[in-house]
Amino acid sequence: MSHTPRRLPAILLPGFLVALCALVPLMQQSADAISDPPGPVTGNATYFDGLGMPYGGCGLPQANLDSPDFVALNVYNTPGDYTFYPRPLTGANLSKAGLWNNGLNCGRYVQVEIGDFCTGTNDGAQNQQFCRGGSWVADAYNGARLTMLVADSCGDSNAWCRDDPYHLDLAKDSLNRFVKNGAAVGDMYPSHWNNRRITWSFIPAPDYSGDIDIGFLQSAQVWWPAISVSHLANGIHGVEYFADGAWRTAQMNGDMGQSYVIGGTTSGASQFQIRVRDVTDTLINGGRVYSFTLPSACNPQCGTPYTKVSYTTSEGSPATPTVTPTVTPTPTGGTGVSCGVHYQVANAWQGGFTTNVTVRNTGTTTLTNWTITWTMPSGVTLINAWNSTITSSGATWTIKPPSWATSLAPGASATFGFQANGPSTPGPADIICS
C-alpha cells in the first residue's frame, strides 16, 4: 500500500450555527498545541492522489492552491493507538496532536529532501515496523529536493499517520518533480519509491510577492460568512474581523486552518473587514486591514466551492504597544516547571482596548492550574473576557484558565483575551506555576 485514503476535516456548516457559540472556546484553546520541530527531521513518506472534494483539509479546493506540489501533515501523534478522536482535538486530546496542529500549520511551506529506499515491506500496517524484512539503502535519488505546500491532513488509522510523528503524505504527481542536479528526477515513481524516507523542515513561502487571496466557501452567506485565506507568506494562525466598532477573533471552520467564519461590520451586513495573523501570531503587513463585500453571486448563498473576492486595503493604525510583562515563575510543582506570559494590545482606541494574552509552558513538566496576577494602571475597568476567568481586587487582576486549558504540556500554550476601558499598558506581572 503506497498511498492513504482521503481524510476529512471537521467542517462547520450553516446548519450548525445553533452550536456555534459553544464551539468557539474549543477552537480558541487549540492554538499552538505543539511546537515546530527544532530543525530538519526525518520520517517516512507516502503519497496520495489529490485533495478531497470539494476541499482539502486546509479549506481550499485543489484548483485554488498556490502550488501543484502539496503535502498532508499528521493530525495525530498516537504511537500504537489507532483510535479515531474527534477533530479538532480539544481538552485532554490536545496531547494527541500531530504536526497538523489542529490546522494551524496550514498554508505553510516545507522543504522536502528524498532519503533512503526501503528494500523490505513498508506498508504502514498497524503495530508493525517500517521496512520490515529489509533495510534502508541510499541510491541515485537521495538528495533530490522539492518545496511543497501544506494543504491537507492525514488522520488515517495506519502506522504512517499515527506512529511516525514526522511522516509526510505527498501529492503523487509531485514525486517525479523532485529536483537533483538541476533536473527533475523523472522516474522515481513507481519503480523506485516504496515509501521512502524523507527529511524536511518548515520554510517561509519561497520568492513571495503580492498579497493574500480571500474567497468565500460554498454555502457562504450573510449569516454564515465562511472564507478561506491563501497566498500566505508564512502560514496563518488567525483571522480577526471588525464588527460593531471592535476587532473580534474569528472562529476557525472546524480544523480547516485557512478557513474562518467571520462577521459583517454590523450584524447581518454584507461588508467585511479582516486582518490576519501569521504563524508567529503577528498581524501580517503591519496590521493591514482588508475590506470586501459578499459578491452578488453569493445571494442568497455561494453556489461554488470557492468564490474569490477583490478587496481594498488600508494600513493598520500606528502600532499599539506590545508588552511582555516581567515574569517570576514560582516552581511549586518541582523541578522542570517554568512558564511565560506574553501580553499584546490587539487594538486600542480613545478610552479602551482589547488584548491577546498567551501563557506558554516553557518547562519540561506539565503545567497545571496556572494563574496570572498583575497590577493594572489606575482607571482600567474590565468589560468582558474570553477563554479565561478574570477577577479584580482594586488594581490587582487575577486570571484563571477555563476548564479545557488548565493543563499545558511542555511547549504548549493557551491564549485568552479581554476588553477593558482605560490605559492599555499593565504593570509588572507575576505568574504562578504548579
User: What is the reported pTM?
Assistant: 0.71
Residue-wise pLDDT for 396-412, tens only, equals 888 888 877 788 888 77
Asked if 272 and 265 touch (Cβ cutoff 8 Å), the reply is yes
Which segments in the chain show pLDDT lower than 50? 1, 4-7, 15-32, 317-333
Q: Is cis: bond before 190, omega within 30 of 0?
A: yes
Provide CB contacts within 8 A for 305, sequence distance 6+.
Answer: 54, 55, 61, 217, 218
Among 35, 8, 21, 4, smallest CA distance to 413 is for 35
Assign domain 14-22+40-203 to its CATH architecture: Beta Barrel (2.40)
Q: Which residues pair with 170 in a beta bridge?
A: 47, 71
Q: Where are the domains of the chain?
A: 14-22+40-203, 213-314, 322-432
Residue where the block lists cell 539503502: 137
Q: What is the CATH number of domain 213-314?
A: 2.60.40.760
Q: Are 124 and 158 in contact (CB under 8 A)?
A: yes
User: What's the topology of domain 322-432?
Assistant: Immunoglobulin-like (2.60.40)
- Does the CA dihedral 121-123-128-131 come out positive or negative? positive
Residue pointed to by grid coordinates 463585500: 293
| Fold equal for 213-314 and 322-432 | yes
Cα(428)–Cα(326) distance, integer angstroms: 5
Q: How far apart are CA 223 and CA 226, in angstroms?
A: 9
Name the residue among 420, 376, 372, 423 with its Cα closest to residue 399: 372
Instruction: Report the alpha-carbon distance of residue 184 to residue 18 in Å, rounded.
Output: 51
DSSP notation for 183-242: EE----TTTT-SS-EEEEEEEPPTT--S--EEEEETT-BTTB-EEEEES-SS---EEEEE
- What values do phi and psi take at 91, rounded to 5? 55, -135
Distance spanning both ends of the chain, measured CA to CA: 47
Residue labelled with grid coordinates 480558541: 28
In sequence order, what E strands does 93-139 have?
109-114, 117-118, 136-137
Using CA of residue 209, residue 210, residue 211, residue 213, what is the dihedral sign? negative
The whole-angstrom separation of Cα 231 and Cα 214 is 9
- So what's the pLDDT on residue 267? 83
